[in-house]
Each structure stands twice: as structure tokens, then as C-alpha cells.
Chain A
Amino acid sequence: MSPEAAHIESSCITEACTEEYSEKKREISSLNFKFPGELLFKISGRRKGLKGQLNRGGIFLFVFFLFMALFPSFLAPYAPNERFTPYKEPSWDHFLGTNDIGNDIFSELVYGSRISMTVGFAAALVSTLIGAILGICAGYFRGALDELLMGFTDVVLIIPKIPLIIVLGAYLQPSIWILIPVLGLLSWESTARVTRSKTLQLREAGYVKSARCMGFSSWHIMSTDIFPNLYNVLLPKFMLATASAMISEASLSFLGLSDISMKSWGTMLSFAFFRGGFIRDMWWWYTPPGICITLCIISIALIGFGLETQGKEHVREGADAM
């Protein structure tokens, strides 16, 4: 069926239906996905508004946490390892009280953001790089290499990550320099898949074909023609990978598989739970790090989701243009 015919037919259906169910007109036109009517635009516009608000909230929160991580000394009243009387309740001197060894909990919280976010971003960088390289190779060369790489991706996808990291973490001296590569090496599969499908699309584009005709090497085409166009796909994946790496980091440090000298939010929560914060009913000790982890991950994930929808719209526009 040619697009015009489909268009005419669908608009006929829409008209026929609107005569009987005028109140349902909006839904019917939104059912009609390839040829959005005026009303669909309004709906998606409104949805975009809400998404936009959420996205703005996410960016605001994220900037706040980033500031906290970059300039902790602005916010924290004390150094994180300065010691006072242990188990103090919140007061003007100690905004969130003190912990079992007398550190100021609020300062610890502010400095903890640095560790948590470093691990998240560095692990996501590793995983995005690996995923992008494997995805581009699989998508560009296709054939046997594609089969092999995607088969490998499927195989890695099945292996449960957290138990493997637990075993590794138990063997190796726990530190963030181990945690970052391990988390990165075990979470690239979804990035590789998305990159591959986008590359499959891109390699058929005119400019790639002409570059190939002109005799540029595959490496050159992949790095200068294809890679820059993957930005729309890779950036949201990077943000979502950061969010999931931060959850994993928090979980692992809860099990005590983290560097005690570099306290992240997960480590704080773990200490609060296993060293008397929970028994003593010190909610000001164990809730703040948990809330911070959650808020920070939400802000990063919201930005990721926002970028993902933007990317999809971008792709749709591109498809329509062709």
C-alpha cells in the first residue's frame, strides 16, 4: 500500500469514527502512528512538556550533586575524617549527628558523593567504550564477525553480574580501582546491541557509501563517519550505565566489598546498618546516604531517559526525511 493510499484510508476511518464517537477522536488519531494528525501533535507536545519538566528537575539535581562532588569543602563543615564524640544526635554543630567513630555524618555524606559518582561515571565510560567498539565492528563488518560478537554478547548477558563481582571482590583487595574495571567489563552488552543496530542503519547512508567508494579505510570510516553519528545513541546509554553502575557500587559496598578508606554512600549505609545505627534507631545516619543514592541515580536516569526519547524523535525525523 502506498503511503498516500494509506493516508487517505486512515483519514477516512478517522472521519467515519468521529461522526459516531466524536469524544474519542483524539484516541483514534493517536492510534494512527505514521501520519500524525494535528491532535496527536498536541498530545505529544503536552507529554514532552511533562518530560521536559522532569528532565529539567533531573538536570538541576544532577548539577547539585556534581557541585557536591567537585567542591565538597564548600558544603561540608568538617573534614570527613575529623573525629568528635561518637553517636551524637543531630544538633547545630553536627547537622546530621556523628557516627560510631565520631565522624560528622553530613561531611561524610558530602565527601561520599565524590567516590560514588567517580565509580559510576568511570565504570560507565569503560562499558560504553567497549560496547561502542564491539557494536561498531559487528554492525560495520557484519557476516561472521557480527555473528561471533553478538553471540558473545548473548553469552555474557546470561551470566549474572553481581554474584560474579562478589566472588571477584572477595578475592581481590577491595578498592575502587578494581571495582571500576570490573563493573565496566560486565555491563557493555546493551550498549553493544544498540550501537550495532544503529551502525547497520548508518552504513547504508549515502555519505558512508561514498566514503567507501573513495577508498577510505574501514577504520577511517568507522572513526570519522560512523562514530560521531552514534552520539545520539551512546549518550543516553552512558547515563543509564552510570545509574546502574552506581546501584551496583552501592550494593557491593553494602556487602563490605569496598575500600574502607574511601567512603562512598553505599559504605556509609553499610556501616550504619552493621555498626549500630539501625539498632540505636539513628535514622539520621542511615537514611541520608540512601536518599542521596536514590536521588542521584534518579537524576542521572531521568537525563538518560530524556536523551533517549530525544534520540528516538531524531531518528524518526530522519526516517521521515528519507
Chain B
Amino acid sequence: MSGIARKGTRYLTSLVLIIIINFTLPRLMPGDPVKNLIGEDVYVSENVMEELRAKLGLDRPLYEQFTSFLSDLLHLDLGYSYHLHAPVAELLLDRLGWTLLFVGVSAAIGAFMGSLLGALAGWRPEKKTSRFTGLAFVVLSCTPPYFLALLSLYLFSFRLGFFPSKGFYDAPEIGSILHHLFLPVCVMSVFSASRNFLVMRGSVIQEKEQLYALYARAKGLKDISILFRHIIKNASLPIITLLALDFGFLFSGALFIEIIFSLNGMGTLIYGAIIGKDYPLLQGAFLVIALTALIANMLADLLYGLIDPRVRRPA
């Protein structure tokens, strides 16, 4: 019980911290917040600036600003993008679905591929294939994801012409979407697999030295069944933690891959916002990504309790 309470406090503190960061950043940063908001390329008179300041509540005391900020958040109002002339929440919601689909599918494939190969490599670390996959995944995990995307885009789309080079679809059909998403999802899964692989390999190497594995062998089980029926269950626990902690990291990797493949997700939106200095949009994006990462961590904790009985049982 105390464990749950402690976890709860931590998530709550994270949430509060994220909201505070989001609140203070625009007020702390150099320059006039209103000027930052509307952008440098627009000329407005001093009167309009005053009006805007009053409308945004920037002339009120800080605690009042904070309460109104909180109530806006609860009404899902993340501000207004003066560059794209639309509410930020709407813009983000449009793109978030695609990005979540992209990240979710790749993370699932990556987790499966990475842990399977990692388990095999950890089971027989001295074999040639294990060494090769180990080296390959170390190299992959050291490559910036967008460089990998760039190379595969060049090779498979431009040189060989197997895949289209941009967008989610030509026509909104499932076949077209699959065709467009194949290459980005491949790159993304390899990227996520490389992280899972290294953890799974280490975890299996540790687990196979435990006595239950020895007992399973003494029972006369075959190698493969020792690995897949006994060891993999215990060894995959760190993977769940990693998946959750990596979610923010994967999400940011996805942003870069989206930019390279010109997929109309959060990545291209954020890139546009950086170029145009669209601060409300950037902040909204940060809030949304941080919240998704928070939820992913909570889900992983729940899953952990479900899978590992030791967590449920009091010590």
C-alpha cells in the first residue's frame, strides 16, 4: 500500500512539475511575452499590445495568472497559435493520433524484435551470430535516429524507388497507408529494438545463471524451452520499465523521423513551430508529450504489478 502511495505521490509531483515548467517558461524567458507570442515579423501598435496583455491576463498578479492557467488547462485550452490561426489543442489533437499510431506500432515491433533477438544473444553470448547481432545493435543504438532515417530514405526511396518518400498516404486507404508507413516504421522499430536488445541480453545473461534455470536443465528440458518457458518471463521485467522510461525518448526519436519522411505528425508541426518561433504551440506540444510519457509510465507500473506477483505481494 505504501508503495502505491509513494508511486502516486511521485506521479503527482511529476505532473505538478510539468505544469509549473509550462507555466513559468514563457514568463521567465528573456523578451516581452506578448511579443514572443505574436512573433517578430508582425508589427502591432502599443495599444494593441496593451489590449492583448490585458486579454491574456499578463497584467494581473502571478497567482491569479496561475489559477487562470490551471482552469484553462482543465478546459483543455492550451492557448492560441497566432501563426497558424487555430487553437493549439485542436492542432495537436489532429496530429497526435498519427504520431501515437506510428510510435505505438514501432515500439511494439521494436520491443518484440529486440527482446527476442536479445534473449537469443544472451542465451549463447559466445556464438558468432550473437556477437554479430550484439555489435550491430550497439552500432545502431549509437546512431542518431534521423541519420538512419536519412540513409534508408536515400537508399530505398530515392535509389531503389521501393517506397514513396513522403506523407502518410496518397489516398486514405489502408494499403496506401501501409506502403507509406513501412519504411519509417522499420527505421523506428530498429531504433527501439536496439535499446531493448541490449537490456534483454544483459538480463538473460544474468537470469540464466540462477538456480531455477539449472533445475530446469536437471529436469531434462531442452535448451529452447528453458529459455522461452522459464528465463524469458523473468528476464523481460526490465524491458517493461525500459519501455516506459524510453517512451519520451522514442517519442522524440519519432519526431525526427517524421521530419525526414515528411509525415504530417507532431514532428513536422514542432519543426514548423521552431522555425516560426510559435511558442504556444511548442509549449502545448511539450505538455502533451510529457503527459503521454507520464501515462505510459503509469501503465507500465500497473502492468508490472500484473505480471510480477512479487510486486503485488507485501514483502
Contacts and interface: CB of A to CB of B under 8 A. Distances in A.
Contacts of A192: none
B218 A290 contact: no
Contact of A163 (B125, B214, B248, B279): B248
A290 B151 contact: yes
A82 interface: no
B9 interface: yes
Given A13-B214, A31-B208, A167-B282, A161 B271 contact: no
Contact of B252 (A54, A171, A251, A287): A251
Given A31-B209, A167-B283, A294-B144, A160 B14 contact: no
Given A31-B208, A163-B286, A281-B158, A293 B14 contact: no
Given A33-B209, A167-B282, A294-B142, A155 B218 contact: no
A50 interface: yes
A247 B144 contact: yes
A28 B289 contact: no
A141 interface: no
Interface string A220-251: 00000000000000000000000100010011
A8 interface: no
Given A160-B290, A283-B154, A294-B143, 14 more contacts: A46-B126, A160-B289, A161-B249, A162-B249, A163-B251, A167-B283, A172-B30, A250-B147, A251-B146, A251-B252, A254-B256, A266-B144, A293-B143, A298-B139
Interface stretch (B17-25, B47-55, B80-88): B17-25
Given A43-B126, A254-B146, A257-B274, A160 B293 contact: yes
B285 interface: yes
Interface in B134-192: 135, 138-139, 141-147, 150-151, 154, 158
Interface residues of A, number: 57
Given A31-B208, A163-B289, A158 B217 contact: no
Contact of B297 (A13, A158, A266): A158
A79 interface: no
Contacts of B270: 163, 166
Contacts of A260: none
A266 B277 CA distance: 20
Contacts of B217: 17, 27-28, 31
A297 interface: yes
A200 interface: no
A243 B282 CA distance: 27
B248 A161 contact: yes
Contacts of A154: 10, 14
Contact of B251 (A30, A158, A160, A298): A160
B285 A163 contact: yes
A164 B154 contact: no
B138 A298 contact: yes
A169 to B, nearest CB: 8
Given A17-B217, A273-B150, A301 B138 contact: yes
Contact of A32 (B209, B247, B255): B209
Interface string A250-284: 11001111000000001001000100001001010
Interface string A1-42: 000000000100100010000000001101111000000000
Contacts of A172: 29-30
Interface string B250-275: 01100110011000000000110111
B11 to A, nearest CB: 8
Nearest to B208: A31
B142 A297 contact: yes
27 contacts: A17-B217, A31-B213, A32-B209, A157-B245, A158-B245, A158-B294, A159-B18, A160-B248, A161-B248, A161-B252, A163-B285, A163-B289, A166-B282, A167-B279, A170-B273, A170-B277, A170-B282, A171-B36, A172-B29, A251-B146, A254-B144, A255-B274, A266-B144, A273-B150, A286-B150, A293-B143, A298-B139
Contacts of A86: none
B293 A158 contact: yes
A31 B214 contact: yes
Contacts of A163: 248, 251-252, 255, 270, 285-286, 289-290
Contact of B286 (A28, A50, A54, A164): A164
Contact of B13 (A151, A161, A247): A151
A170 to B, nearest CB: 5
Interface string B217-259: 1100000000000000000000000000101110110011001
A250 B297 contact: no
Nearest to B248: A160
Contacts of B150: 269, 273, 278, 286, 290
Contacts of A31: 208-209, 213-214, 217
A294 to B, nearest CB: 5
